[in-house]
A and B are shown apart, each in its own frame.
Chain A
Amino acid sequence: GESVGLHLPTLSVQEGDNSIINCAYSNSASDYFIWYKQESGKGPQFIIDIRSNMDKRQGQRVTVLLNKTVKHLSLQIAATQPGDSAVYFCAENKGRNKLVFGAGTILRVKS
């Protein structure tokens, strides 16, 4: 039978290039956002977070941008490496500590 499931967008990048993964969120009242990385067979791993009173936050090789006007979140990875290949999830705190995850984006790094 036909397989039905979430169709995850895929981003393919060349090793060394920068990657930009985008996410749209739904609740304008959400005050906290997190990006997670999930490798095959593992649990989601925290990458970086941002509060709604900020529009940019930088980590090591990663930057998160928040545009509250259009309810958009992005994760930028500098100098993408093969080890960055994974599924990336954005998550928003919708209140009452309910962290809701997006569907995810597959990042494939070509060597």
Chain B
Amino acid sequence: DAGVIQSPRHEVTEMGQEVTLRCKPISGHNSLFWYRQTMMRGLELLIYFNNNVPIDDSGMPEDRFSAKMPNASFSTLKIQPSEPRDSAVYFCASSLGGLSGNTIYFGEGSWLTVV
């Protein structure tokens, strides 16, 4: 049974470039979450989708960050333009029906380095 699939696993990019991270949630899950993990701030929720609709994007750092979920099996997190402080591990996670008793499953993460 495939888990949450993220790509790329690792990316090194130059400051100012556009970065697109991709996520395929677990089949049948209707909630999708993007998290960022850094040494400074730990694991932070960036945005949460339910049935492909963004429900809470209050964690998105600034306008350079955007996320989309065009269908139930695909989501993207885009950073444009990227900055060195965006270097982090970005996790996508999915669950069946959001929280309140529904387990959130995480992907293996996309390790982003902006130089």
Interface residues of A (CB under 8 A from B): 4-6, 31-32, 34, 36, 42-46, 49, 51, 89, 93, 96-104
Contact = CB atoms under 8 A, between A and B. Distances in A.
B108 A97 contact: no
Given A43-B4, A43-B109, A99-B33, 4 more contacts: A34-B104, A46-B105, A96-B56, A97-B55
B101 A32 contact: yes
Contact of B108 (A36, A42, A46, A102): A42
B interface, size bucket: 20 to 34
A34 B55 contact: no
A51 B43 CA distance: 21
B43 A44 contact: yes
Contacts of B50: 97
Contacts of A6: 39-42
Interface of B: 4, 31, 33, 38-43, 45, 48, 50, 55-56, 91, 93, 98-101, 103-109
A80 B1 CA distance: 28
B42 A101 contact: yes
Contacts of A96: 55-56
B46 to A, nearest CB: 11
Contacts of B101: 32, 49, 51
5 contacts: A4-B40, A6-B39, A43-B109, A93-B100, A99-B45
